[in-house]
């Protein structure tokens, strides 16, 4: 009789534990609160929902940028460098690609992982990885590399020469396409932090195309020029660099 009672107790506790583990793995109330706090008080750069098409919910125009990229993805896998809270990574994963998102900001990666849980997307992994000249060479080759709105930060941190070397290594790690954008000179001309960016002359678009070609790409095409959601005058040309 005592054994039967013990057995019943064991089954009851086991069920309780399993349900608790299931709850922890689901997008639960605590996750919801954490995600909303990070979004409200840390970064709204990417929206809280990857399928709702409200542009006002993010700073950068991620929705239209992804629509331009989507039809140009090749092969089976994608690397998203400086993935932020994962909008592009999650969209590509939900379109069936195996995706790796890298960022060096722990809090923003927490948001990315919560977004992954919220949308129940499995084929994406986010890792804390600081891109520099040394670390970049450890990356394997990917079919597609998303390298958006980050290269000017590389120049700011490492200087133009080192950042250009990083871009060359990323080109070697690209099997088919790299997606790349860069601010126009007007956006940073009074900012000391960007003083290492060379003069782009009269035609910044041509300058960027040549820069990508000298980094090792065969051909570069413009997909579209997009505005910032909060500052419509701040535009960026989205390029596809082809190997």
Ligand X SMILES: C[S@@+](CC[C@H](N)C(=O)[O-])C[C@H]1O[C@@H](n2cnc3c(N)ncnc32)[C@H](O)[C@@H]1O
Residues that bind ligand X (CB under 6 A): 60, 62, 82, 84, 102-105, 108, 130-131, 148-150, 153
Strand bridging mode 174-183 / 142-147:
parallel
Q: Which residues contact 20 (CB under 8 A, 6 or more apart)?
A: none
Helix (H, G, I), strand (E, B) or coil at 179: strand
Nearest residue (beta carbon) to ligand X: 82
Nearer to ligand X, 73 or 148 (CB): 148
Residue 33: exposed, middle, or buried by beta-carbon count in 10 A (0-12, 13-18, 19+)? exposed
Please report how close the Cβ of residue 160 comes to ligand X at its closest, in angstroms: 15
Nearer to ligand X, 136 or 171 (CB): 136
Please report how close the Cβ of residue 104 comes to ligand X at its closest, in angstroms: 4
Nearer to ligand X, 119 or 153 (CB): 153
Nearer to ligand X, 60 or 91 (CB): 60
Please report how close the Cβ of residue 99 comes to ligand X at its closest, in angstroms: 13
Give the position of tokens 């690209």.
174
Instruction: Check: CB of residue 61 under 8 Å from CB of residue 55.
Output: yes
Please report how close the Cβ of residue 199 comes to ligand X at its closest, in angstroms: 23
Radius of gyration of the chain (CA): 21
């Amino acid at each position: 009789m005592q054994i039967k009672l013990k057995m019943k107790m064991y089954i009851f506790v086991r069920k309780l534990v399993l349900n608790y583990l299931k709850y922890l793995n689901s997008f639960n109330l605590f996750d919801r609160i954490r995600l909303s706090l990070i979004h409200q008080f840390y970064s709204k750069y990417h929206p809280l929902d990857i399928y709702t098409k409200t542009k006002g919910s993010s700073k950068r125009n991620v929705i239209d940028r992804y629509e331009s990229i989507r039809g140009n993805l090749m092969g089976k896998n994608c690397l998203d460098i400086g993935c932020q809270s994962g909008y592009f990574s999650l969209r590509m994963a939900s379109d069936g690609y195996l995706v790796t998102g890298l960022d060096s900001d722990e809090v923003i990666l927490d948001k990315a992982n919560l977004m992954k849980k919220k949308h129940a997307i499995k084929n994406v992994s986010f890792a804390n990885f600081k891109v520099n000249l040394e670390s970049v060479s450890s990356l394997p080759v990917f079919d597609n590399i998303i390298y958006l709105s980050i290269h000017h930060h590389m120049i700011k941190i490492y200087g133009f020469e080192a950042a250009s070397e990083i871009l060359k290594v990323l080109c070697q790690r690209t099997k088919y396409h790299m997606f790349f954008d860069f601010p126009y000179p007007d956006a940073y001309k009074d900012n000391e932090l960007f003083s290492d960016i060379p003069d782009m002359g009269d035609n910044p678009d041509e300058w960027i195309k040549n820069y990508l070609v000298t980094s090792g790409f065969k051909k570069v095409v413009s997909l579209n020029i997009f505005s910032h959601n909060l500052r419509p005058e701040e535009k960026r040309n989205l390029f596809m660099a082809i190997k």
